[in-house]
Amino acid sequence: MKRLEGRTVFISGASGGIGRACAEYFAQAGSRVVIGSRSLGKLQDVAREISEKTGSPVHAVELDVTDRENVKRAVESLPAEFSFIDILINNAGLALGLEKVQDGHIDDWDTMIDTNVKGLLYLTRMIVPGMIERGYGHVINIGSTAAIHAYPNGAVYCATKAAVKFISDGLRMDVVDKPVRVTNIQPGMTETNFSTVRFKGDEGKASKVYDGLKPLSPDDIADIVLYTASVPEHVQIHEVTVTPTCQATGRVIHREG
Ligand code: 8X3
């Protein structure tokens, strides 16, 4: 029997990067997977590819976590086969810009707070009651090492990830008498389109972020996420902080050359 045979997993922000890798790892482990992201076109291709590769059912749903009504619709209109969600992976999130607070773009702050904090809360609020009712659940939040030490020019992003840590800790307390687990995964430098998004498409700037070092890959994170979901049901992994070997904190990094 595969590790998570028959479980249903809902993953936000799953058209690429860590979200997509998680979808593949959970599908490989025998789960039914719902992948959500804002544009359905690419997502449906991703769903098809993963389903063909793993043999598990994968369903794509249009999901804008910043839009409360859309979140409700997306969860409530799932096909019956996918509607009982056992594991929620709150992965949708982003960084926008690297500026001092005094120079910051307020629209960027709103987008980060709306996505990383409020979006995570909307999905969690929609899905956790069903987990409690059915007597099984696991919320896995993708936080960041940015939650542990703030870094210059990153105050708002770091604050949103600190919020993810405290929402995880608070939720764990709120469901302590229920069979629902809460895990916060805090990755450091991971090579996805994270930096391209942060620098608003400036590939030159984005590629420099990983100069002279070997970052984590989305697969590295998905492997850990899957592990935290695979341990026996009485075992709850609160938090995993993971960085490349050459990174000690958000800004203590060793580069070759
Ligand atoms: C991503 C980690 O250090 O690039 O959340 O902000 S960092």
Residue with tokens 């409360």, as numbered in its chain: 68
- Alpha carbon distances (Å) from 84 to 211, 225, 228, 232, 253: 43, 20, 20, 20, 42
CB distance 144 to ligand 1 below 6 Å = yes
Distance 154 CA to ligand 1 centre (A): 9
Give the separation between CA 39 and CA 136, rounded to whole angstroms. Answer: 30
Q: Is 200 exposed, middle or buried (0-12, 13-18, 19+ CB in 10 A)?
A: exposed
Give the separation between CA 237 and CA 229, rounded to whole angstroms. Answer: 9
CB distance 116 to ligand 1 below 6 Å = no
Question: For residue 250, what pLDDT is reported?
Answer: 85
**What value, to the nearest 5°, has the Cα angle with vertex 50 and ends 29 and 135?**
45
253 within a domain of the structure (yes/no): no
| 8 A C-beta contact, residue 57 and residue 32 | yes
CB distance 36 to ligand 1 below 6 Å = no
pLDDT per residue as tens digits for the range 101-128? 999 999 999 999 999 999 999 999 999 9
- What's the token pair of residue 168? 């995880």
The CATH code of the domain that includes 97 is 3.40.50.720
CB distance 17 to ligand 1 below 6 Å = no
257 within a domain of the structure (yes/no): no
251 within a domain of the structure (yes/no): no
CB distance 146 to ligand 1 below 6 Å = yes
Q: Who's near 10: CB < 8 A, 6+ residues apart?
A: 34, 36, 75, 85, 87, 88, 89, 123, 127
214 within a domain of the structure (yes/no): yes
120 within a domain of the structure (yes/no): yes
> Which of these, 162, 181, 163, lies nearest to 236 by C-alpha position?
181
The number of distinct structural domains making up the chain is 1
List the chain residues with pLDDT less than 70: 1
The residue from 25, 122, 157, 210 that is catalytic is: 157
252 within a domain of the structure (yes/no): no
Ligand 1 atom closest to residue 209's alpha carbon, by position in its atom list = 4
Assess whether 157 carries a catalytic annotation: yes
Question: For residue 207, what pLDDT is reported?
Answer: 86
Atom 4 (ligand 1) nearest CA: 189
Question: For residue 251, what pLDDT is reported?
Answer: 87
Q: Is the pTM of this model over 0.85?
A: yes
Query: Residue 111's domain spans which residues?
Result: 2-242
- What's the token pair of residue 56? 């598990």
Strand 87-90 relative to strand 58-62, pairing: unpaired
Ligand 1 atom closest to residue 146's alpha carbon, by position in its atom list = 6
Distance 189 CA to ligand 1 centre (A): 5
255 within a domain of the structure (yes/no): no
> Which of these, 171, 253, 240, 168, lies nearest to 210 by C-alpha position?
253
Distance 188 CA to ligand 1 centre (A): 5
153 within a domain of the structure (yes/no): yes
Question: For residue 34, what pLDDT is reported?
Answer: 98
